[in-house]
Amino acid sequence: MSATQVTTHHAAHSEHDYLNHQKGIWSWMTTIDHKRIGLMYLLTVGTLFLIGGFFAMGIRLHLAKFGATPLLEPDTYNKFMTFHGAIMVFMVIIPGIPAFLGNFVLPIQLGAKDVAFPRLNLASYYIFVAGALLAASSMYFNQVDTGWTFYTPYSTAKTGNGVILLVMGAFTMGFSSILTGLNFIVTTHKLRAPGMTMDRIPLMVWALYSTSIIQILATPVLAITLLLLAAEKTLGVGIFDPDLGGDPVLFQHFFWFYSHPAVYIMILPAMGVISELVTAFSKKTIFGYRAIAYSSVAIAAVSFLVWGHHMFVSGQSTLAGIVFSLITMFVGVPTAIKLFNWISTMYRGTISFHAPMLYAIGFMFLFTIGGLTGVFLASTGIDIHFHDTYFVVAHFHYVMVGGTLMALMGGIFYWFPKMFGRMSSDLGGRISWVLIFSGFNVTFYPQFILGAMGMPRRYFDYLPEYTSLNQISTVGSWLIGLGFVVGLVTIIHGILRGEKASDNPWGARTLEWQTSSPPPHENFVNTPQVTAGPYDFR
């Protein structure tokens, strides 16, 4: 039992926790404490999420066609779509769970005092902020309308120079992502507490570790791709420009070689969160610890071999299409392993339906739909019909929002008592879940039908027969928006007015719950001695 080995000193409870270890805004700006840096990411990513959400609501409101005149001009619509995508992908979902929850949780779960390179950790935060500002500056100078994928030759030959700013912003944020991943890998290898062997580290850490591998190996390829794009645009080197003998499809290969693994940068940490939530709220030892741990690594490995499934209709050879199709379907295997292990963990468990657990169950439900429709899209024949329709939009929102954002919300409510030493309102969390979960299905389920009917994505207008489903979808988006507002209010209310939390309100077994809430500056008063696995319930 790891729990019994840790002595918690309640006397030092309120005076010496990390939140009031040092005071003043400057102490936060210059902190090298991983917990504070995690919270700074929460604030930054949360703000960006609201901006990205604003653009999403604008897109949906426009597409509902409630008024006689369109809400947005066609060009404005394209810019909304681009900013929504670029902000949500590069600035919210990629850093969301690793940089925010991961930074806070990973060192404590390993029994470490901090990450391996605390100053690098702070640097990576500021690099992220600089990248976000650089990308955002394009909104002022020259708005981009390429979509978040910057496909050539449109991005190089046709559109304005704002794309250089956005691309260099993404490049800079990629650098931040690399440094965070590097920090996590070294922390996991070098800073585990005594007795914390690799088969005793929590599954959240396994997930973050696999994510970090992808960040280290894939992000540099995005970096060179974006650099080449910027060089193409400023110097006209011709690598992606058919007029000069270049090949625009090469850009797609380069781009998806990163951006497909990046999909798993987005979802693997979410799966780690779900593993924690399921076992904590089922009060049962995780079923298949090794299977879940190794399936994370398997997903990371396979993720590098499937990029071609984004390009079934981009002119790659039939043989390549078939191979990519097969390997893509293989991703379903480790993913299903995780899902069945979570369900087996819940089976005959003592399940309590607190807000975090509701989010975990919501994740499993929505991610299953997102994952299975991914198999549809992996089949080359079906994809030719579905490619660039709303079916694809619905699919990746089910994975990214229904998956990652559900896990992020669940993770926030789960670790909330540890972060702030207070409880957030469980009722508020549950109401936000009901609104987000139901609103999500109302928004995106109709988009599967629209896609199957043939409605193309990215267009600012559509044929009349798609109107009613689009309007249903827009009403759903208001429910999601309301749900996130309730969630935000619950979080702020919890921080300011929440009841004092005990050290382990959920009765979980991992190390972060064995220290005080909030933890002291160095996480533990005495370095914990680990003598058993992380989910030692029964």
The helix (run of H) or strand (run of E) holding residue 410 is helix 406-420
- Quick one: which of 39, 221, 300, 450 contacts another protein (CB under 8 A)? 221
* Residue 223 binds another protein, judged by CB under 8 A: yes
Nearest Cα to Cα of residue 191 among 532, 418, 524, 517: 524
- Binding segment for another protein (CB under 8 A), chosen from 4-12, 109-117, 315-323, 363-371, is 109-117
As measured in angstroms, the least distance from the Cβ of 483 to another protein is 38
* Residue 236 binds another protein, judged by CB under 8 A: yes
Bond into 153 cis (ω within 30)? yes
Are the CB atoms for 345 and 337 separated by under 8 Å?
no
* Residue 237 binds another protein, judged by CB under 8 A: yes
* Residue 112 binds another protein, judged by CB under 8 A: yes
* Residue 239 binds another protein, judged by CB under 8 A: yes
> Which residue lies nearer to another protein by CB, 231 or 495?
231
- Quick one: which of 94, 132, 228, 442 contacts another protein (CB under 8 A)? 228
Q: How far, rounded to the nearest angstrom, does the alpha carbon of residue 6 sit from its chain's CA centroid?
A: 32
As measured in angstroms, the least distance from the Cβ of 209 to another protein is 12
Nearest Cα to Cα of residue 117 among 177, 182, 189, 196: 182
> Which residue lies nearer to another protein by CB, 113 or 284?
113
- Quick one: which of 235, 319, 463, 496 contacts another protein (CB under 8 A)? 235
CA 435/CA 162 separation, integer angstroms? 37
Provide the token pair at 323: 């191979």
| Side chain identity, residue 474 | T
Q: From the CB of residue 503, how many other CB atoms can be counted at a distance below 10 Å?
A: 19
* Residue 288 binds another protein, judged by CB under 8 A: no
* Residue 116 binds another protein, judged by CB under 8 A: yes
Provide the token pair at 411: 């993770």
- Binding segment for another protein (CB under 8 A), chosen from 15-23, 117-125, 141-149, 355-363, is 117-125
Tell me the angle at which helices 406-420 and 426-453 cross, rounded to the nearest 10 degrees.
160
* Residue 183 binds another protein, judged by CB under 8 A: yes
Residues 247-266 touching another protein, rule: CB under 8 A, are: 247, 250, 254
The helix (run of H) or strand (run of E) holding residue 452 is helix 426-453
The SS3 of residue 286 is: coil
**Contact flags string 512-531 toward another protein, x per CB under 8 A:** ----------x---------
As measured in angstroms, the least distance from the Cβ of 301 to another protein is 15
Phi-psi region of 354 (alpha: psi -120 to 50; beta: other; left: phi over 0): beta
> Which residue lies nearer to another protein by CB, 236 or 332?
236
> Which residue lies nearer to another protein by CB, 107 or 411?
107
> Which residue lies nearer to another protein by CB, 216 or 329?
216
The helix (run of H) or strand (run of E) holding residue 348 is none
Please return the burial class of 426, using the count of CB atoms within 10 Å of its CB with bins 0-12, 13-18 and 19+: middle
CA 165/CA 184 separation, integer angstroms? 29
How far is CA 422 from each of CA 172, 274, 295, 427, rounded to the nearest angstrom?
35, 22, 35, 15
* Residue 158 binds another protein, judged by CB under 8 A: no
Total of chain residues touching another protein, rule CB under 8 A: 41
In sequence order, which residues have a C-beta less than 8 Å from that of residue 127 and are 6 or more positions away? Answer: 172, 173, 175, 176, 179
> Which residue lies nearer to another protein by CB, 218 or 355?
218
- Quick one: which of 98, 131, 202, 246 contacts another protein (CB under 8 A)? 246
- Binding segment for another protein (CB under 8 A), chosen from 18-26, 90-98, 114-122, 418-426, is 114-122
> Which residue lies nearer to another protein by CB, 231 or 297?
231
CA 131/CA 226 separation, integer angstroms? 13
> Which residue lies nearer to another protein by CB, 114 or 512?
114
Please return the burial class of 151, using the count of CB atoms within 10 Å of its CB with bins 0-12, 13-18 and 19+: middle
> Which residue lies nearer to another protein by CB, 250 or 297?
250
- Quick one: which of 54, 117, 294, 459 contacts another protein (CB under 8 A)? 117
- Quick one: which of 73, 75, 199, 243 contacts another protein (CB under 8 A)? 243
As measured in angstroms, the least distance from the Cβ of 278 to another protein is 31
Please return the burial class of 315, using the count of CB atoms within 10 Å of its CB with bins 0-12, 13-18 and 19+: exposed
Provide the token pair at 163: 């794309």
- Quick one: which of 11, 23, 69, 245 contacts another protein (CB under 8 A)? 245
Provide the token pair at 406: 């559900």
Q: How far, rounded to the nearest angstrom, does the alpha carbon of residue 127 sit from its chain's CA centroid?
A: 19
DSSP 8-state secondary structure symbol assigned to residue 23: -
As measured in angstroms, the least distance from the Cβ of 508 to another protein is 24
As measured in angstroms, the least distance from the Cβ of 221 to another protein is 5
Residues 438-497 touching another protein, rule: CB under 8 A, are: none
Residues lying near another protein in the complex (CB under 8 A) are found at 112-114, 116-118, 120, 178, 182-183, 185-186, 189-191, 216-221, 223-225, 227-228, 231, 235-239, 241, 243-247, 250, 254, 522
